[in-house]
Amino acid sequence: MRKPAKKTEKRFTPQKTQTTPFHPRTNQFNLMQNWDDWAGYLAANVYESFEKEYFAIRNQSTLLDISPMCKYRIKGPDARKVLDRVVIRNVKKIRTGRVGYTLWCDEEGMTIDDGTIFRFGKQDFMLLCAEHMYSWLQDAAWGYDVEVIDESHNICGLALQGPTSYSVIKEAGFKGVETMKPFDLREVEPGLWLSRTGYTGDLGYEFLTENKNALKLWDRLWKAGRQNWGLIPIGLEALELVRLETGFIAPGVDFQAAHAVSRVGRGRTPFELGFGKLVDFNKGHFNGRRALLEHQKNGKRYNLVKLDIEDKYPADSSYVYVGKEKHIGFVTSAAWSPTTKRNIALAELEAPYGDTIRDGIWVEVYVDKEGKWYRINAKATVVDGSFFSNPRTRQTPPGPF
């Protein structure tokens, strides 16, 4: 499951911020009462302590209320066709009982959002994403024998992530989960869908169920995890750090969602975001295909890359340079990664910097030392693959760790 968009401009929320079905519990744990608005819902930033939550994700197990995610059910005889029309990857290859990560573009090949496709059945899918997409999906479905249903407000989601998450699930009495491989999806109990997916790059699972089952699910996991497996709830701040360690991108932060910008040239292609490999030109027409073929021919304009930066100061909002002082881009997300002990960042560079030219790149980091600002020039190395990775993430059956 992906993190929410961190918006600079807040979208119009038609009513008072909503609470999710888990609110009676999340509210009780939120000692700080530190809430943010996530797609119109109250979402905890931090429950108690950011550090405690972050380390729990990497060493224990954690619960994150992901109910605010947008959830679009797409079902009917043409459901697969409609999704294939929308997204860049081949949906045929996502079998029933599997989840697939993908991006989708507008007609100009600019990324609208990224998200995950859950395939419940031959003709039954759910698209989960950060951006509101209902009317656009309605347009995409026009002329097809399909139903697009916005289930964002009837279905809740709970992510259970961390090395001991499998143990929690087992202790909670869910059967047969040991055979679930990464990206597997199952109705583990009637009305309760479980997938082995997540945003942490670590072992983890996500539950989807109707709102009415929310508290029962929370309490069951809580009871199973509290005693032996170090289960605690986590908020958006910890989520932000782990998603960056994993190298996941966020709309509104690392790229601008095509529907959210009005200025020309702000959109980015999947190639430029590093997801060129997902684009399947052989599956028939899909949105933006012709434009993407042009982009492929003309080459990338930008490269969104992972940077490993010398020195310890997070390179938030830094400019990126090459050589003497040639400005080539800027940092979109940055943090000190405690687990990998690296100073990491995502940065957008002008192509071909970041792919064919990687030498001599450095960032200008701004450091505030008790009210006094310092400027540090730090060398940066382009990193392939995710910053954080651990074999336990993929091991099946998972161990207790």
Partner 1 sequence: MSHSDKFDVIVIGAGHNGLAAAATLAKRGKKVCVLERTNAIGGMAQSRDNDGTSVPYIAHLLHNLNPTVVKELGLSSAIKLKELPTIALDPDGRHIEIAGNKAQYTDGSAHPDAAIYEEIRARIIKFGQLLEPMAARTAPDLSEGASFAGLPELMPLAKLGLKMKLMGKKEMREFMRIALSNVYDLILDDMEDGVLAGSLAADSVWGMWTGPRSPGTVLSLMYRYCTGGQSSLPIGGMGAISHAIADVAKNNGAQIRTNSAAEKLVVEDDQVTGVVLKDGTTIETKAVMSSAGAFQSMMIGGHENFDVEAVRRLRNVRSKGTTAKVNIVLKDVPEIAGLSDSQMASRLLIAPSAYYIEQAFNAIKYGEMPPAPVIEAVIPSLSDTSIAASGKHVLSAVVQYIPYYLEGGWNDKARNKLTKIVVDTLSKYAPDLRDKIDYTETLSPADIEQETGAPGGHWHHCEFSTDQMLAVRPVNLLARYAFGIKGFYLCGASAHPGGDVSGLAGRNSALQLIKDGAAS
Query: Which residues of the shown chain bind partner 1 in the complex (CB under 8 A)?
Result: 81, 85-86, 106-107, 136, 139-140, 142-143, 262, 264-265, 285, 287-290
Helix (H) or strand (E) holding 141: helix 134-141
- The least CB distance from residue 285 to partner 1, in Å, is 5
Nearer to partner 1, 295 or 342 (CB): 295
| Dihedral sign of CA atoms 180, 182, 187, 192 in order | positive
The least CB distance from residue 101 to partner 1, in Å, is 21
Distance CA 64, CA 206 (A): 9
What is the nearest approach in angstroms of partner 1 to the Cβ of residue 82?
A: 9
In angstroms, give the least distance from the CB of 105 to partner 1.
9
Count helices and strands in the chain by DSSP H and E runs: 8, 19
Q: Check: CB of residue 313 under 8 Å from CB of residue 365.
A: yes
With respect to partner 1, which residue has the nearer C-beta, 247 or 288? 288
Query: Based on CB atoms, which residue is closest to partner 1, 179 or 298?
Result: 298
Q: What Å distances lie between residue 301 and 61, 151, 213, 274, 353, CA to CA?
A: 40, 37, 47, 12, 10
Instruction: Compare residues 223 and 290 and give the one whose CB is closer to partner 1.
Output: 290
Query: CB of 257: closest distance to partner 1 in angstroms?
Result: 15
CA 260: distance to chain centroid?
A: 18
Q: Across-strand partners of 231?
A: 61
Extract the runs of DSSP E, i.e. beta strands, from 211-295. Answer: 231-233
Complex with partner 1: residue 225 or 267, whichever CB lies closer: 267
Backbone φ/ψ region at 349: left (φ over 0), alpha (ψ -120 to 50), beta:
beta
In the complex with partner 1, the residue whose CB is nearer, 258 or 380, is 258
What is the DSSP code (8-state) at residue 87?
B
Burial 136-170 (b: 16+ CB within 10 A, else e): bbeebbeebebebebbbbebbbbbbbbbbbbbbbb
Pairwise CA distance, residues 314 & 333, whole Å: 9
Shortest spacing between CB 250 and partner 1, in angstroms: 23
| Least distance CB 280 / partner 1 (angstroms) | 13
Residue with tokens 């909503």: 18
Measured from the CB atom, is 15 or 264 closer to partner 1?
Answer: 264
User: Residue 148 carries which side chain, given as an amino acid letter?
Assistant: V
The least CB distance from residue 332 to partner 1, in Å, is 24
Shortest separation between residue 95's beta carbon and partner 1, angstroms: 23
d(CA 71, CA 127): 6
Helix (H) or strand (E) holding 86: helix 79-86
| Tokens (6 digits) for 335 | 């943090």
**Residue 144 or 330 with smaller CB distance to partner 1:** 144
Between 118 and 136, CB nearer to partner 1: 136
C-beta of 258 vs 331, nearer to partner 1: 258
CB of 329 to partner 1, least distance (A): 21
If DSSP codes are grouped into helix, strand and coil, which group holds residue 313? coil
DSSP per-residue string spanning 45-62: EESS-HHHHHHHHHHSEE
Pull the structure tokens for residue 145: 């024998």
